[in-house]
Amino acid sequence: MVKNDLTKFSTPVFPFTAIVGQEEMKLALQLNVIDPKIGGVMIMGDRGTGKSTTIRAIADLLPEIEVVKDDPFNSHKSDLDLMSNEVKIAIQSEEVIETEKIKIPMVDLPLGATEDRVCGTIDIEKALTEGVKAFEPGLLAKANRGILYVDEVNLLDDHLVDILLDSAASGWNTVEREGISIRHPARFVLVGSGNPEEGELRPQLLDRFGMHAEIRTVKDPTLRVKVVEERTSFDRSPNVWLENYASQQQELRDRIVAAQELLPNVELNYDLRVKISEVCSELDVDGLRGDIVTNRAAKAYAAYDGRTEVTVEDISKIITLCLRHRLRKDPLESIDSGNKVEKVFKAVFEIED
């Protein structure tokens, strides 16, 4: 009897290009994929608005990456910042490095996850008796060079959110136990989602997410019917759907890859940088993270559009996403919908309604 190879079976993922509406969330995800240093995205909105579907869809859309074979950290074969110590040692010893292509890792962080599950654990007994660093990698290792998705991030323990944000910002995860320390690459796009009714994140944590997208339930009955029909049709015959959207998916995939390659050449002139900082200052944004993220996102948007020069139009498209969650000083305040950011942006950039 021939056994089925279960690795060849995969659950079909709803195509990213088939998702109706939710433009803010889709744009924020695409820009973070083009430049992961933007710092991730926090998606807040009603239940059942397709947050998880959209995040899985962007991971599925992205091209495969080349990783070192059998390496638990998805190490890159030549980039030191994306490489584990074992791979570095193997390269220095001039060993032959085998590689393979894998889909971009998409890691879900369960709500009840412990610190050990997230960061990984060191087997102290093995380390002491056998003299080896016995490290059991956690979710941060699996997420390296991929996307880490935390649903209901506002219900997650603050200490864990801190760890995630630290790793996302530095690109490294350090585990220390009983004087033994292990460090490995953990460069990923952090995507958090939640429902504002269940409580907001503290302003200090919220500020560390690069972007904040808001999504609302579609109110138009015709559009609602369209969304329901498309989802039902996809569930009934996913392969037909995937075929129908194959060319659009490939087109967007090529556009994202081209933007990633173009990004280092994109320029943002000095006058525009001054005006971005003026907007942040007028809005009384604490620290400089808002300025940095807005600059990065504007460049990513220009690259996405296939240009090497950032325009005022590019900044107008992303500035609300980058700044609206940085205005809260009081944890009991609600997040600005974007009107305040837009108003100040128009005043500083002298744009008339």
In sequence order, the 6+-apart residues with CB closer than 8 A to the CB of 129 are none
Q: Is the pLDDT of residue 222 over 90?
A: no
Identify the residue whose tokens are 């060191």: 122
Q: What is the mean pLDDT of residues 109-127?
A: 82
Report which of 53, 67, 45 is spatially closest to residue 16, judged by C-alpha positions. Answer: 53
The answer to whether 327 touches 281, Cβ cutoff 8 Å, is: no
The answer to whether 16 touches 251, Cβ cutoff 8 Å, is: no
Q: Is the pLDDT of residue 310 over 70?
A: yes
End-to-end CA distance of the chain, in Å? 72
Q: Is the pLDDT of residue 169 over 90?
A: no
Q: Give the least confident one: 68-82, 223-237, 270-284, 327-341.
A: 327-341
Instruction: Say whether 91 sits in a helix, a strand or coil.
Output: helix
For residue 7, the model assigns a pLDDT of 45
Q: What is the DSSP letter of 267?
A: B
Q: Is the pLDDT of residue 131 over 90?
A: no
Q: What is the mean pLDDT of residues 10-18?
A: 85
* Calpha distance 133→130 (Å, rounded): 9
* Calpha distance 348→278 (Å, rounded): 7
Instruction: Say whether 287 sits in a helix, a strand or coil.
Output: coil
Alpha helices (runs of H) in the chain, residue ranges in sequence order? 23-34, 51-61, 85-92, 115-119, 124-130, 139-143, 158-170, 203-206, 221-236, 238-244, 246-262, 270-282, 289-304, 312-323, 339-348
* Calpha distance 235→263 (Å, rounded): 37
Phi, psi of 95 (to 5 degrees): -80, 155
The distance between the two most distant Cα atoms of the chain, rounded to a whole number of Å, is 74
Amino acid at 269: N
The percentage of the chain sitting over the pLDDT mark of 90, rounded to a whole number, equals: 33
Q: If you count DSSP H runs as helices and E runs as strands, how many of each does the chain have, helices first?
A: 15, 11
Question: What residue spans define the domains of the chain?
Answer: 13-62+103-217, 263-348
Q: Mean pLDDT highest for which of 120-129, 173-182, 324-333?
A: 173-182
Q: Is the pLDDT of residue 167 over 70?
A: yes
Beta-ladder partners of 176: 181
Identify the residue whose tokens are 């997650």: 156
Q: Is the pLDDT of residue 90 over 90?
A: no
CATH of 13-62+103-217, one of 1.10.760.10, 3.40.50.1400, 3.40.50.2300, 3.40.50.300: 3.40.50.300
Q: CA separation (Å) from 217 to 21, 45, 49? A: 10, 8, 6
Q: What is the mean pLDDT of residues 149-174?
A: 86
Homologous superfamily, domain 263-348: Magnesium chelatase subunit I, C-Terminal domain (1.10.8.80)
65-68 vs 99-102, strand pairing mode: antiparallel
Q: Is the pLDDT of residue 58 over 70?
A: yes
The percentage of the chain sitting over the pLDDT mark of 70, rounded to a whole number, equals: 91
Q: Is the pLDDT of residue 194 over 80?
A: yes
Q: Give the least confident one: 60-69, 75-84, 122-131.
A: 122-131
The answer to whether 332 touches 303, Cβ cutoff 8 Å, is: no
Q: Is the pLDDT of residue 8 over 50?
A: no
User: Model pTM greater than 0.85?
Assistant: yes
- Is there a common fold for 13-62+103-217 and 263-348? no
Q: Is the pLDDT of residue 5 over 60?
A: no
Give long-range contacts, CB 8 A cutoff, 24+ apart: 125-134: 127/180, 133/180, 133/182
Q: Is the pLDDT of residue 296 over 50?
A: yes
Mean pLDDT across the chain, nearest whole number?
85
For residue 125, the model assigns a pLDDT of 67
In sequence order, the 6+-apart residues with CB closer than 8 A to the CB of 130 are none
Q: Which of 56, 187, 289, 324 is catalytic?
A: 289
Residue 307 bears catalytic tag:
no
In sequence order, the 6+-apart residues with CB closer than 8 A to the CB of 305 are 314
Q: Where residue 258 falls among pLDDT bands split at 50, 70, 90?
A: very high
Neighbours of 257 (CB within 10 A): 14
For residue 111, the model assigns a pLDDT of 81
Six-digit token pair at 317?
A: 């498209």
